[in-house]
Amino acid sequence: MEQNFLAIDLGATSGRTILGTFTDEGLKMEDINRFPNHLIEVVGHYYWDIFQLYHNIIEGLKIAAQRNIPISSIGIDTWGVDFVCFGKDGNMMRQPYSYRDPYTVGAPERYFSNLSSKEVYGKTGIQVMNFNSLFQLDTMRHTNDSALESANKILFMPDALSYLLTGKMVTEYTIASTSQLINAKTRHFDLNILNSIGLAENNFGRFVFPGEKIGELSVEVQKMTGLGAIPVIAVAGHDTASAVAAVPTVSQNFAYLSSGTWSLMGIEADSPVITGETEKLNFTNEGGVEGTIRLLKNICGMWLLESCRAKWANATYDDLIAAAQQSETFRSLINPDDPCFANPVDMEQAICEYCKKTSQLVPETIGQIVRCIFESLALRYRQVLDNLKSLSTRPIEVLHVIGGGSRNDMLNQFTANAIGMPVIAGPSEATAMGNVMIQAIAAGKAADIAGGRRLIRSSVSLKNYQPQDTAIWNEAYTYFKNIIS
């Protein structure tokens, strides 16, 4: 018997409502509606337009109702760290700040004068990034932010949207784990860290884990959409956690690469990996499904190419790949995570300046730029994977590439060449599939994550890449390490 689930998947630039039809034979996915997610710049701050997101979610639910699709449940996943403040009457205090807002520049240094970075990392296992929720909240406290001063509850983005649908306030574990407020060992809020920013557990919603029921669509939402009292399930609210849940693996001996604007490379661990080495390497321990920890590293991904493409208005993606294929191998390389590539005015110029500064040949054509980006990313992936091998208690035998980047044949082959092990690419819709799978487990349609992964593996086309030219890539890796050092 078929069962239908709605996955609401929101990224930092766009969102969508997806219908997942779960059967014993496989999982079918269909877009219901897609919509942009725009930042709003007002009086020196950047905000997310949560009301517009809510409006588009309601539109997706209306479409499902109009098609008479029987929906078993709904789940929401979003990007991490950002949150919404609500007053005692349950109303939103204002639109939420975006992590892209520069108001937290310098915030970690100020906060660590209170609790040391070593102490905070030892508790949370979370890498230091100035936009983490901890530093956003500490900055709001120091600036006497009126929304925080008036807040009774603080809800992370997927939880805030679930509240608008159900009237129930929760804090889902995987999204909360990105905040640097969660103790990685206890899997709950760290009270000392909360106290350091003047907050307590009761400032947040009921703590839940993936698969728990949040509530049902409110009477108001039922009237607006034409749907009934459908359950809303707490999926893995952090989009990367949902994506990793959908890795189509048949073994525990794997690493994953969630490939998109950002690349997130990591492994699943049974418990937090918090050592001096992980702190030095800036690895992060985020919550996963079924009690797992996602030990991972953030790597600058296709942001490099997309920023260049904004300048190459007439170049199609196929044209860029063809030009790269015709270009010389390893002519010039960059460190994709160098700060100069974070948000330059001109990415192409930034790449050229980096090559000049490191005494390399400066790229002269679009093809050379694209090849430089792809080869550098592949070699950076090897560097991070080598670190993961030393940190993992299990051997790593294969790399699963999921997300939009799983469709990039050239980069996937380069990655296999660089790491010297097989790469399995797909699914590109991993986040939505993971979202649906957790709902299906909650509904009793699937037994567990392992079973769901096997079902996903049988439902999608996967592409395998075997290492080629390993000796040449090994030489290039030595050259790469010398350049970035």
Strand, coil or helix: what is 238?
strand
- What is the pLDDT at residue 260? 85
Q: Is 108 among the domain residues?
A: yes
Domain count, the chain: 2
Kindly state the average pLDDT of the residues 181-208: 98
Whether residues 390 and 405 fall in one domain: yes
- What is the pLDDT at residue 23? 79
Whether residues 225 and 327 fall in one domain: no
Is residue 25 over pLDDT 80?
A: no
H or E stretch covering 171 = strand 170-172
In terms of average pLDDT, the best of 22-26, 134-138, 309-313 is 134-138
- What is the pLDDT at residue 326? 97
Whether residues 159 and 275 fall in one domain: no
Whether residues 37 and 177 fall in one domain: yes
Rounded distance, CA 156 to CA 172, Å?
8
Indicate which CATH number applies to the domain containing 153.
3.30.420.40
Rounded (5°) CA angle 182-278-301: 90
Whether residues 335 and 192 fall in one domain: no
Distances (CA, A) of 286 to 127, 146, 264: 10, 30, 12
Q: Is 435 among the domain residues?
A: no
Q: Is 358 among the domain residues?
A: yes
Whether residues 87 and 131 fall in one domain: yes
Q: Is 453 among the domain residues?
A: no
- What is the pLDDT at residue 271? 96
Whether residues 222 and 272 fall in one domain: no
- What is the pLDDT at residue 130? 92
The two three-digit tokens of residue 100, written as one number: 């892209």
Strand, coil or helix: what is 302?
coil
Tell me, rounded to whole angstroms, the distance of Cα 304 from its chain centroid: 17
% residues pLDDT > 70 (the chain): 100
Strand partners for 232: 74, 215
Q: Which of 395, 396, 360 is nearest to 376 (CA)?
A: 360
Burial category of 343 from C-beta neighbours within 10 Å (exposed 0-12, middle 13-18, buried 19 and up): exposed
Whether residues 250 and 195 fall in one domain: no
**Domain end (from 202, 237, 272):** 237
Cβ atoms 285, 272 nearer than 8 A: yes
DSSP letter assigned to residue 100: T
pLDDT-derived band at 418, boundaries 50, 70, 90: very high
Whether residues 246 and 227 fall in one domain: no
Domain ranges, residue 86: 3-237
- What is the pLDDT at residue 127? 92
Whether residue 427 has a cis bond before it, omega within 30° of 0: yes
Indicate the average pLDDT of the chain: 96
The two three-digit tokens of residue 1, written as one number: 């018997």
The pTM (predicted TM-score) of the whole model is 0.93
**Domain end (from 237, 268, 301):** 237
Kindly state the average pLDDT of the residues 374-391: 97
Whether residues 221 and 251 fall in one domain: no
Rounded distance, CA 111 to CA 106, Å?
9
Rounded distance, CA 154 to CA 92, Å?
10
Whether residues 291 and 250 fall in one domain: yes
Higher pLDDT among residues 344 and 156, named by residue: 156
pLDDT tens per residue, range 441-472: 999 988 899 999 999 999 999 999 999 999 99
Whether residues 265 and 413 fall in one domain: yes
Provide the terminal-to-terminal Cα distance of the chain, rounded to the nearest Å: 57
Is residue 244 over pLDDT 90?
A: yes
Q: Is 433 among the domain residues?
A: no
In terms of average pLDDT, the best of 25-29, 126-130, 165-169, 248-252 is 165-169
Q: Which of 293, 295, 271, 269 is nearest to 281 (CA)?
A: 295
Q: Is 36 among the domain residues?
A: yes
Three-state secondary structure along 247-270? CCCCCCCEEEEEECCEEEEEEEEC
| Residues acting as catalytic residues | 239
Kindly state the average pLDDT of the residues 137-158: 97
Residue with tokens 């051997």: 395
Q: Is 409 among the domain residues?
A: yes
pLDDT-derived band at 314, boundaries 50, 70, 90: confident
**Domain end (from 237, 260, 281):** 237
Q: Is 443 among the domain residues?
A: no
Question: Residue 158, CB half-sphere, CA atoms under 13 Å: how many?
Answer: 36
Strand partners for 401: 257, 425
One-letter amino acid at 186 equals: T
pLDDT tens per residue, range 113-131: 999 999 999 999 999 989 9
